Amino acid sequence: MDREIQQLVEMGATATQARAALKKYKDVMQAAEKFFEGEFEHVVEDDIGRAHQYQSSTTNHVQDVEMENEDEDGELEEDEGSDAYIDYDSDDDDGMSKGPGAHKVNDPYAGIFFSKDRREEVIEIEEEPIFVSVPEVDQKVQLMTQGKWMAGCAEGGEQSFLFSLYSQLSESQLSDVDGICPCPSGCGQTVTRKQSDFFAVYPDFATYIKHLQSIVPQKCIKCQTEFCFACGEKFSQQASDPLWHCSNLQSVILGVGLFMIQKLFEQQKEESESRDTTEREAKRRKTRDIDDDDPIGGLGQKKGGIGYAGEVKEDSSGQAEAQAIQFAKDSTIRALLAEVRAYLPSLQRPGGARPSDYLPHPSSLTHLRRRFNLIASELLRNDSLADMSDRHGLYFELLEWLETISSHESLCSMMPMPIMKNISQQTVVKKSSHSTIRERKIIYEGSASPRELLEAIALQAQAALKGLESSRAPDDLPPEPSEEQKRKAVVVIKGKPKEDTLPDSLDETAKLYSFCNRLLATTAQIDRSLRELKGDDFVNRMHQSLPKAFTSASDTIYVDVGDTEEDAKEAYVKWATSSRFEYCDLTIPATDDSDETLNYKHYFNNEIRMLANANIPKRSVAIAKELAILTTNLPVAWDSSIFLRVDDTRVDVIKCLITGPEGTPYHNGCYLFDVFLGANYNQSSPSVKYMTTSGGKYRFNPNLYADGKVCLSLLGTWSGPGWVPFKSTLLQVLISIQSMILCEEPYLNEPGWASSAGTPQSKAYSANCRRMVVRVAMLDALRNPPEPFEEVIRTHFRLKARSIQEQLDGWLNEDDGRALVPDGAEYSGPGRDSIPSVPNGFKEDIDALADLLKDL
């Protein structure tokens, strides 16, 4: 009974509705059919209004809502008057009892949440490909065997639906009934269904549909009764298109169509990966040739130390060709998606909904969850909003799928449900005297839901729109599209998409603006559909589990460090993820009313003021794309993180804080950079200034000067492959500083010392760096945290206090006792051995820092 209840719940029923349906109709399929007909819509929770949990036998997470009226033997007791249900959907009180003493009717989904902490193990049979001849094409086509039909399904209940439908629509050696379609008039005549009738994978979807149109209408040779070959029932007089006759047909069309989409998508992915591998190998060979010709320069570290030295230019050849190939592939898969989408259950179908739209086959949801979800997750994991905007045709079609699915009561529940991904598989060969059977043991694990993946992109879209709006005058912005324009950005006529979803006449700004609005409109529609079908409480709980981007420092909340280091690590990553990107006010309050141009707490204040009223379209688009990337892609980890603060009204004004990576002399220090996206951004690199110098006294690295200069080829301050217009990003600059400058052996970053790894000079340089880091990047940072990172720095040190104390003890033991030198270059000179070993204040600094950590 528990398994049958779970099956009905996965179709959209509440636990109470499922029990009521199974009580009246013992067969789960019949119960599902009556539920979809609306027979149990009036059934809600019991009259006490309590929601209880149902524990799945196959998982360790809460799956459902169950009542607790069980006796000691575990059997459900019947309450007197149990047929009297509360009308949760009452128009009068909106589902809530009002007045003195009235009780609140619980949300029927209160116990339902979709946890990713799931793992399922499934055994699948590996079958040899079977090819058959069909009259419609000259070549043999592959047959979709039962194993292929059911592959990728991690849910036991859903497997039974797939198995049942496949058996019904094809002959079987295991049963005398499967595959037999009797005449519905009862004349005794039968027709046998072959596997190739419904499960042959044709070269294109249109040919498959044409084939079905030719075989689905059947006429009994004995009594001349016309009936449907898929369900065996008589055709109604009003049936205009035989393919819309029954849910069996709709499900098999979706199943085969999605299989064709998945196969095409995987094929294109393999081709792209193969091409990328070939290109990487070609670049490696070219790099080796350069190194052989020039052992001092090249891309190696012999000359440059930080991986950017040399005179080699970025090879951008072939980009246009690769882009054209990608667009051609996108067009092919978009067209196939549009053709198959025409058969999705939809109550908003042009010309009116069909019977199968109201009552889809239970396996339709299964097809979407195991095949469409995999494609959607691949596309939505794209971390580049700019790439999505450039490929808007494919992504608009994807959004159409998501909107159509979310609008149907039977399908919308898959939007917040975790996608079960194949994380490992093992092939087992079983041999017998008669045959060899290959089985695959596959482990599926819960991952982000379609709605969660969409939220990450929506955050990027919001950031991009903010960049466009704050960089342009209101009159220059494209007009806000209407709701109909947003929803119908892709028009499908007879299953074929328009050639262009956005007119080529639109400039890049308008295209990005329209794409972002379209994506946010889809997100809003999904939430609106879920609210209508599941209720506000359900959607509010879902939103609490979605990724978030704080928009102001006022959103910062206190984070508990926990009792163990593992607790601290988990808390740190969760906190850093939520606070890595924020908008804030970086302006200086005006003291003179005569000057209307704002000043900023920023090194590049003069340059910022000069561009106060600038309107540079290409720059606006570049900044919008940059913000989209930074919003959700800044690296955060216990070992090292990057935090950004962007001015609320001038998004080209940025401050950055990088925490030093583990295993380096910079570990856990806080390093501040001022960043400005200038007038020529992204044609030229951003302006970056290093600020953690204690007023210009300390030089922490050969590539970080005491005056704040940052030496990096991406910034044009060092030789080597430089900034590539409209391709390079600020994120690349920040990660390069984090990984290549704040490195394990900074002494090697100086070109003349690059071959001195592990030498006494290098060790002395690192020891001196550690002394500077403790004094400036730790102690001073904690005593006088720079704006606007006060809370970030305090939280960083508070959550890592135990770990930092152990780190400092180790550093003190490793210290060579020499004096702190503001410029470590002195350790490389001829007189380095004569530098006296005197009290250097290192222990005193560590003790002072330890006291501050205790106070935190």
- End-to-end CA, the chain: 55
Over residues 758-783, the mean pLDDT reads 93
Using the predicted structure, report yes or no on whether residue 7 has a pLDDT greater than 60. Answer: yes
Cβ–Cβ < 8 Å for 689, 708: yes
Contacts of 386-392 with C-beta under 8 Å, sequence gap 24+, read 386/512, 386/625, 386/628, 386/629, 388/457, 388/515, 388/519, 389/511, 389/512, 389/515, 389/516, 390/323, 391/326, 391/327, 391/330, 392/501, 392/502, 392/511, 392/515
Residue-level pLDDT at 52:
31
Beta bridge partners of 503: none
Using the predicted structure, report yes or no on whether residue 843 has a pLDDT greater than 60. Answer: yes
Residue-level pLDDT at 552:
52
Tell me the pLDDT band of 104, cut-offs 50, 70 and 90: very low
Q: In the structure encoding, which two tokens stand for residue 490, read together?
A: 């892709």
Cβ–Cβ < 8 Å for 604, 674: yes
More confident site: 425 or 669: 669
What are the helix (H) ranges across 445-499?
450-471, 483-487
d(CA 784, CA 789): 10
Average pLDDT, the chain: 79
Tell me the pLDDT band of 618, cut-offs 50, 70 and 90: confident
Tell me the pLDDT band of 565, cut-offs 50, 70 and 90: confident
pLDDT in tens, 343-381: 999 988 888 888 888 889 989 999 999 999 999 999 998
- Per-residue H/E/C for 538-600: HHHHHHHCCCCCCCCHHHCCCCCCCCCHHHHHHHHHHHHHHHCEEEECCEECCCCCCCCCCEE
Question: Quick one: residue 603, left, alpha or beta (phi over 0 = left, psi -120 to 50 = alpha)?
Answer: alpha
More confident site: 312 or 679: 679
Q: Which of 276-285, 449-458, 729-738, 752-761 has the lowest mean pLDDT?
A: 276-285
Find the helix packing angle between 450-471 and 508-534, rounded to 10°. 140
Q: Which of 10-24, 29-43, 201-215, 721-735 has the lowest mean pLDDT?
A: 29-43
pLDDT in tens, 779-800: 999 999 999 999 999 999 999 9
| Closest residue by Cα to residue 355 from 256, 257, 258, 238 | 238
| Closest residue by Cα to residue 336 from 264, 405, 255, 396 | 264
Using the predicted structure, report yes or no on whether residue 288 has a pLDDT greater than 80. Answer: no
pTM for the whole thing? 0.74
- Looking at domain 562-855, its CATH class is alpha beta
More confident site: 278 or 601: 601
pLDDT in tens, 65-101: 333 333 434 333 333 333 333 333 333 334 333 333 3
d(CA 109, CA 68): 16
More confident site: 836 or 639: 639
Residue 38 φ/ψ, nearest 5 degrees: 90, 10
Tell me the pLDDT band of 739, cut-offs 50, 70 and 90: very high
d(CA 819, CA 469): 53
Q: Which string of b and e fits 681-710 if b means at least 16 CB within 10 Å?
A: bbebbbbbbbbbbeeeebbbbbbbbbebeb
Tell me the pLDDT band of 136, cut-offs 50, 70 and 90: confident
Find the helix packing angle between 450-471 and 617-633, rounded to 10°. 150
What is the rounded (10 degree) CA torsion for 237, 238, 240, 241? -80
Helix, strand or coil for residue 637?
coil
d(CA 201, CA 187): 33
Q: In the structure encoding, which two tokens stand for residue 777, read together?
A: 């990047």
d(CA 542, CA 113): 8
Specify whether 711 is catalytic: yes
Over residues 319-343, the mean pLDDT reads 89
| Closest residue by Cα to residue 175 from 186, 185, 184, 164 | 164
For tokens 């939809």, the residue is 346
Q: Which of 59-68, 437-446, 504-513, 821-830 has the lowest mean pLDDT?
A: 59-68
| Closest residue by Cα to residue 769 from 720, 713, 842, 855 | 842
pLDDT in tens, 290-320: 455 544 333 333 334 443 333 345 455 566 7
Annotated active-site residue in 181, 183, 231, 711: 711
Which residues lie below 8 Å from residue 472, measured CB to CB, with a gap of 6+? 509, 615, 617, 620
More confident site: 223 or 502: 223
Residue-level pLDDT at 777:
96
Using the predicted structure, report yes or no on whether residue 811 has a pLDDT greater than 60. Answer: yes
Residue-level pLDDT at 321:
78
The reply to whether omega before 682 is within 30° of 0 (cis) is: yes
Cβ atoms < 10 Å from Cβ of 661: 19
Residue 248 φ/ψ, nearest 5 degrees: -60, -45
Helix, strand or coil for residue 142?
strand
Helix, strand or coil for residue 832?
helix
Beta bridge partners of 599: 588
What is the per-residue DSSP string for 252-285? HHHHHHHHHHHHHHHHHHHHHHHHHHHHHHHHHH
Using the predicted structure, report yes or no on whether residue 235 has a pLDDT greater than 60. Answer: yes
Residue-level pLDDT at 639:
95
d(CA 642, CA 640): 7
Using the predicted structure, report yes or no on whether residue 455 has a pLDDT greater than 80. Answer: yes
For tokens 């993820």, the residue is 577
Cβ–Cβ < 8 Å for 40, 34: yes
Which residues lie below 8 Å from residue 474, measured CB to CB, with a gap of 6+? none
For tokens 């819960």, the residue is 446
Over residues 271-284, the mean pLDDT reads 75
What is the per-residue DSSP string for 744-800? S-GGGGSGGGTT-TT-HHHHHHHHHHHHHIIIIIIIIHHHSPPTT-HHHHHHHHHHT
Cβ–Cβ < 8 Å for 811, 598: no
More confident site: 407 or 286: 407
Q: In the structure encoding, which two tokens stand for residue 24, read together?
A: 């009246």
Structural domain boundaries of the chain? 1-112, 128-254, 562-855
Tell me the pLDDT band of 47, cut-offs 50, 70 and 90: very low
Tell me the pLDDT band of 596, cut-offs 50, 70 and 90: confident
Cβ–Cβ < 8 Å for 253, 243: yes
pLDDT in tens, 394-404: 999 999 999 99
Residue-level pLDDT at 66:
34
Over residues 513-535, the mean pLDDT reads 92
For tokens 């030789």, the residue is 719
Angle ∠(579,580,582) on CA atoms, nearest 5: 70
